[in-house]
A = this chain, B = another copy of it.
Amino acid sequence: MSGEPKPRAADGKSAEDARYCNVALLGFGTVGSSVARILCERPNTHLRLTHVLNRGVARKKVDWIPASVQWTEDIEDILASDVDIVVEVMGGLQPAEEWIRRALVAGKSVVTANKQLIARCGPELTALAHSKRQQIEFGPSVAGGVPVISGVHEGLAGDELFKILGILNGTCNYILSQIETNGVPFSTALREAQKLGFAEADPTEDIEGLDARAKLAILARVGLHCDVKQERIATRSIAPVDSIDFEYARQLGCTIRQISWAELKSANGKEELLAAVQPALVDLSSPLARVEGSRNLVIATGKYGGETVFGGHGAGGHPTAVAVVSDILAIARSKQAAMNRNAPTPQKTPVVTADFTTKHYLRFMVKDRPGIIATLATLLSERGINIDSVLQKPGCPKSHLPFLITLEECRASLVEEALKRINSLDFLVQPCLHMPIL
């Protein structure tokens, strides 16, 4: 107001602006718009969306993005700006690679969801970022919302991992699940997946294992510290797998999944990396057998910590956007750490209760006599609690007769109140066991 110059930080930002990390989005498709939504909805954050780049940007504009955001088709607008972090969610190799290189050279850090690009030239881009004192993060390039890159790189940094097993392609997992559940041929399951949007019109990348192969190459690099060219990883199609194979698999106590597998072994004194993406039989007791629909799962095995499992949504705008924003925050944190502004997260102090609303399990042990159920039913209904089922195991002694009442959804406190009265009844041999049904 007084016309005095505002104090400026080293990078030329005003002191107020320096509190913010400016973010530019390259690409405003499914993932890009989800990232924008999270950035705009998020309270108490130092992140500020400043640019959105897309081809034909005029038709992309939406009203829920602040007017301060600049919409552009020109990368130069972003390279010349005071953007701190460039988020690449356009896909494709070019111009994505060139723009990422130029952003790093221009002193901006980068977050990318581009698995093909990272599988191909991740180490080069990381070295370029390092030489420019910037960061490049690529958590969203593998397994969408499942934080497996940070998990193996940071969470398990203390271990020496030697094996990674994963379900990394939701399309294949969906198709195989459908063959398994509905006994349909492969071709039918594929058509169904395409109709529902789970598979592309040209499903080659998914079905043949090329999509998962790029992700496995990235995981091998981050988790096993092996710089492996994706072309060196063998792949096999899931197309020959048919419903008869699930019948046979079941007889062997197994099911079939597309498995990405990388394992470091010492053979004849030198290390080798076993790696492949292929349909495989997995034991029904394995977490891999339980992965449903389009979800992803990774099992990392280490010398010290044994098996660690990461699972969740492997694709989709919102889950992938979570991975993008988590990486943006990681970069922002390390920029702040360098400035010693790594303040503790503000905490809420809400009311704490255990009054969950669920179905309930009430197991009684009684000395049998007529009218017990009627008595209990009356006491429960007086409090507006509805009985769902009554079960009694046959052949138990009358003096210690166990039986079960399940209740429809209601608040735990209502049940506890009823039980205070019920537990004083003389036919109970021990207090009622009460558990929620999740």
Q: CB within 8 Å of B: which residues of A?
A: 34, 38, 42, 123, 126-127, 130, 133, 135, 139, 145-147, 150-151, 154-160, 165, 221, 224-229, 232-234, 240-241, 244-245, 247-249, 251-252, 254, 256, 259, 261, 263-264, 270-276, 278-283, 285-288, 290, 297, 302, 304-313, 318-319, 321-330, 334, 337-338, 340, 342-356, 361, 363, 391, 393, 402, 404, 406, 430-431, 433, 435-438
Contact = CB atoms under 8 A, between A and B. Distances in A.
Nearest to A431: B240
Contacts of A145: 159, 304-306, 308
Given A240-B433, A352-B272, A347 B225 contact: yes
24 contacts: A38-B158, A38-B304, A42-B160, A123-B344, A130-B342, A133-B340, A154-B329, A156-B326, A158-B322, A158-B324, A158-B328, A159-B325, A159-B326, A226-B347, A227-B349, A228-B349, A233-B354, A251-B391, A281-B361, A304-B319, A305-B323, A306-B318, A337-B338, A338-B340
Nearest to A343: B130
B155 A363 contact: no
Contact of A232 (B309, B322, B352): B352
Given A282-B438, A406-B252, A241 B433 contact: yes
B288 A290 contact: no
Nearest to A360: B281
Main secondary structure of the interface of A (DSSP, over half): mixed
Contacts of A306: 145, 312-313, 318-319
Contact of A274 (B151, B278, B354, B402): B354
B154 A354 contact: no
A256, A347, A352, A361 pick with most chain B CB within 10 angstroms: A352
Contacts of A146: 308
A437 B158 contact: no
Contacts of A352: 228-229, 232-233, 272-273, 275
